[in-house]
Amino acid sequence: MRATIASARSAQKASASATRFVRSSSKAHSAPRFVEDVVREMLRYAHDALADAPDDAFILARQVNYESIHKHDALAESCALLGELRLELAGTAGVSHTSFESWLYPRSVKYSG
């Protein structure tokens, strides 16, 4: 009897999970977005979520859409310091973003090689 109840519960959980996936997929198909728009939204959400973080906090957002009907995938990526995002979202024009490479390898660090 316990095995039957456990199996029924597992089936219910699997069904609920599949239902959430279908709802999520349907929602995505009803409001399709370009990868660039998704990355911009990710950065905006990070800006809002990290309100107390310092301006020199680095944020990297990346989205890959694996295409099933095209011969290529779509990829978009953007990064910035949180202070740069704050200025940009406040309406400051001409804000440039710190690249991943310049953040990872600052000029003040000397490398041997």
- pTM score over 0.75: no
* Separation of alpha carbons 48 and 85, rounded Å: 10
Do 93 and 48 contact (CB within 8 A), yes or no? Answer: no
Domain spans in the chain, listed from the N-terminal domain onward: 1-32, 33-113
CB atoms within 10 A of CB 83: 15
Give residue-wise pLDDT tens across range 10-57: 556 556 555 655 555 566 667 778 899 999 999 999 999 999 999 999
Which sign does the torsion angle of CA 74, 80, 85, 88 carry?
negative
